[in-house]
Amino acid sequence: MTGLAWDEKSKTLTLGKREGKFPGLLKQRTFRIVFVSPGHGTGGAMTTTADVEVVYKGRALKISAP
């Protein structure tokens, strides 16, 4: 399990440290993050381009909005 937390004040997304194990667990995965704002990443025309792309390897990561 990976926890997610958003800090509105600092505009930072935290991907928490991985917890737990199971057969077939990926050692790493790529997250394509879209920071939603008025006219960006909302509505019928979804954003196809990520604002940030990170490779998650189980350690906590903090990602700041652009």
pLDDT band for 47, please (50, 70, 90 cuts): low
CA atoms within 13 A on the CB side of 50: 8
pLDDT tens digits, one per residue of 22-46 = 999 889 999 999 888 887 777 666 6
What's the confidence (pLDDT) of residue 40? 78
CATH number listed for the domain at residues 4-64:
2.60.40.1180
- pTM to 2 decimals? 0.79
**For the chain, what are the domain ranges?**
4-64
What's the confidence (pLDDT) of residue 48? 67
User: Strand, coil or helix: what is 41?
Assistant: coil
First to last CA, the chain: 26
At residue 5, does pLDDT exceed 70? yes
CB 16 within 8 A of CB 46: no
Task: Please indicate whether residue 2 or residue 20 has the higher confidence score (pLDDT).
Answer: 20
